[in-house]
Amino acid sequence: MKKQATTIFLGISLLLLAVVSFIFFRQIDTGSSGLFSNQGGRMPGMGMHMGGEVTTELAPSTEQSNKLVLPPILEGNLTPEDGTSYSITALNGNTQLKEGEPTPTYGYNGSVLGPIIRIRSGEKVEIKTENELDTTTSFHWHGLKVPSNVDGGPHTPIPTGGTADLKFMVKQEAATLWFHPHPIGEAGEQVYQGLAGLIYIEDENSDSLALPKEIGINDFPVIVQDRSFGSNNQLDYTQSYGPDGTYGDTLMMNGTINPYLDVMNEKIRLRVLNGSNARNYQFRLSNSSTFYQIASDGGFLNEPVPMESLQLVPGERAEIILDLSDYKVGEKIQLMEANIVVLTINVTEKTSKKSPPLPKTLNNIPKAEDSTTPDKVMTFSGMGNMVAIDGKQFDMDRIDLRAKVGEKEVWEIKNIRDMMGGMIHPFHLHGVQFKVISRNGNAPPANEQGWKDTIALYPGDSVRIEVTFPEKGIFMYHCHILEHEDNGMMGQVLVE
Ligand code: C2O
Ligand code: CU
Ligand code: CU
């Protein structure tokens, strides 16, 4: 009994210490005039970021190494009228994620995550969706340029047992997009439980470019997510929940903990999606070598961009090329986030064919154009339950902005610093791929000069984007920290 009391006392003291130092460090943070970023200012072990949000630190995995699970490619059926038809069903399941008991999860067409929907630019597509979960969901196609009745946002909930038949034309270029649930107030929990899948769009350009494109051989999807496991390997959303984002201490790539990949000594392509609820990543390679980003959210960049580190906020994607041509069989390289291994890549075989050099030109995206006065100005502010856009919280019955289809606009998006310093909000806009014109008056970095649907807004940032909606309807814009989205950091634009 006495021992227990001491433990409790110790526990409370530690908690107090944590709270006090938290306030203290935040004050330092507010006092400094330096730029906020998630690159610096991480305090190991303290379980928080200087950016303002409390997080759970990632812990190195103690699980045995597992082969990276690759999501299957979903086969479509060719129909005479509706083009290629796909079926996606949201399911309850159990998945062996860790040693021990299987974890109750959600998945699309399986127990966790989902298949890759592979579609072609210019084609007709039908997706038959079905909800077999015991809760309402919606099927949102993040990054897809479709009319809003197909978009799958909060306006189109699918109740348990419900179905929806979506038909659309693929009107955009080759890109790696994704799909996930978007029901009002529940997106965070449902993604956390396992709902997310990838969409590959292909076109003539992606066919012809000399890039690694043998899926599962030298072209790999990597969905990065963080989770916390309770006793019996449960994913307990309520337990792990944070109003500024639900974080986990365990990384999962495609649902695999501590994954490895066996490849040949050639160029390999990783299509990385930050599918986490809230965590930002700063990826790099274990030997600090240079890699090349070839695509951003909405398609290929104009040219490969050499990088030593890559930041991805929730919802963002990047395709990167690692050149392993000079590696010997038996050598390995690791994709890292800080000191945590994301993915171990083993060179296990010698290839007979040499990878061609990276193409110098990948795309021909015209430069984003600024205007003297932006057409729209919006502000992101607050934390926790106080998050807001332009001081307002989401109201499905309120149209916040209006735009005309096909008309180019300049939006200025601001992230207002508060007394606590503020935090990074990932800005996402539905139904369109936009271009970043400037960040705080400066040209965006080279890897942000392609098509984007999700961008980081640092505290104090003012970012200008060029937007032209291709389709009509009501489209959402929101913070892609899913808990902020669920807390109402979302607005809607009516495109007519
Ligand atoms: Cu990826 Cu509105 O979401
Ligand atoms: Cu979206
Ligand atoms: Cu946010």
Ligand 3 centroid distance, CA of 425 (Å) = 4
CA distance 232 to 307: 41
Quick one: which ligand is closest to 433's CA? Answer: 2
Asked if 345 and 333 count as a contact pair (C-beta separation under 8 A), the reply is: yes
21 Cα to the center of ligand 2, angstroms: 37
Torsion sign, CA atoms 102, 104, 107, 112: negative
What is the block-wise mean pLDDT of the chain (496 residues), using blocks of 10 residues? 50 48 38 33 36 74 94 95 96 96 98 98 98 98 97 97 98 98 98 98 98 98 97 95 96 98 98 98 97 98 98 98 98 97 98 94 96 97 95 98 98 92 95 98 98 97 98 98 98 98
- Please name the fold of domain 219-349: Immunoglobulin-like (2.60.40)
Domain(s) labelled CATH 2.60.40.420 in the chain stretch across: 70-208, 219-349, 376-495
Beta bridge partners of 141: 179
Cα angle vertex 477, ends 249, 414, to 5°?
Answer: 85
Work out the burial of residue 77: count CB atoms within 10 Å of its CB; fewer than 13 is exposed, 13-18 middle, 19 or more buried.
Answer: exposed
pLDDT of residue 455: 98
The pLDDT of residue 4: 54
- Tokens 């003297």 belong to 372
> What is the Å distance from ligand 1's center to 287 Cα?
34
CA distance 19 to 401: 40
Give the fold, CATH level 3, of 376-495: Immunoglobulin-like (2.60.40)
* Closest C-alpha residue for ligand 1 atom 3: 142
| Cα separations in angstroms, 43 against 16, 51, 55, 130 | 17, 11, 11, 44
Give the number of other Cβ atoms within 10 Å of residue 381's Cβ.
Answer: 19
The whole-number pLDDT of residue 275 equals 98
Q: Which ligand is closest in space to the CA of residue 315?
A: 1
Q: From the CA of 180, give the closest atom in ligand 1.
A: 1
Which tokens belong to 306? Answer: 């050499």
Q: Nearest residue CA, atom 1 of ligand 1?
A: 142
Phi and psi for 13 in degrees, rounded to 5? -60, -45
Provide the CA 313 distance to its chain's centre, in angstroms.
6
Architecture in CATH for domain 70-208: Sandwich (2.60)
Q: How far is the CA of 442 from the centre of ligand 2 (A)?
A: 26
Gap between the Cα atoms of 457 and 477, Å rounded: 13
The token duo for 102 is 């299987």
Residue 421 is predicted with a pLDDT of 83
DSSP 414: E
User: What spatial distance separates the first Cα and last Cα of the chain, rounded to whole Å?
Assistant: 69
Q: String of b and e for 136-149 (b: at least 16 CB within 10 Å)?
A: bbbbbbbbbbbbbb
Identify the pLDDT of residue 54: 52
| Residues 138, 195: Cα–Cα separation, whole Å | 11
What's the DSSP call for residue 424? -
Question: For residue 490, which atom of ligand 1 is closest to its CA?
Answer: 2
Question: Which atom of ligand 1 is found nearest the CA of 143?
Answer: 1
According to DSSP, the residues that pair with 284 across neighbouring strands are 309, 336
pLDDT score at 42: 32
Compute the distance from residue 48 Cα to the ligand 1 centre, in Å.
25
Amino acid making up residue 363? N
- Residues constituting the chain: 496
Amino acid at residue number 85: S
pLDDT of residue 418: 83
Residue the block writes with tokens 């969901």: 137
368 Cβ contact partners less than 8 Å away, ≥ 6 residues apart: 435, 436, 437, 449, 465, 466
Contacts of 152 (CB under 8 A, 6+ apart): 129, 138, 139, 140, 141, 166, 179, 182
Number of H helices, E strands in the chain: 6, 34
pLDDT in the model for residue 420: 79
What is the SS3 string spanning 50-83?
Answer: CCCCECCCCCCCCCCCEECCCCCEECCEEECCCE
- Regarding pTM above 0.85, the answer is yes
Please give all residues whose beta carbon lies within 6 A of any atom in ligand 1, as ranges.
140, 142, 180, 182, 315, 428, 430, 476, 478, 480
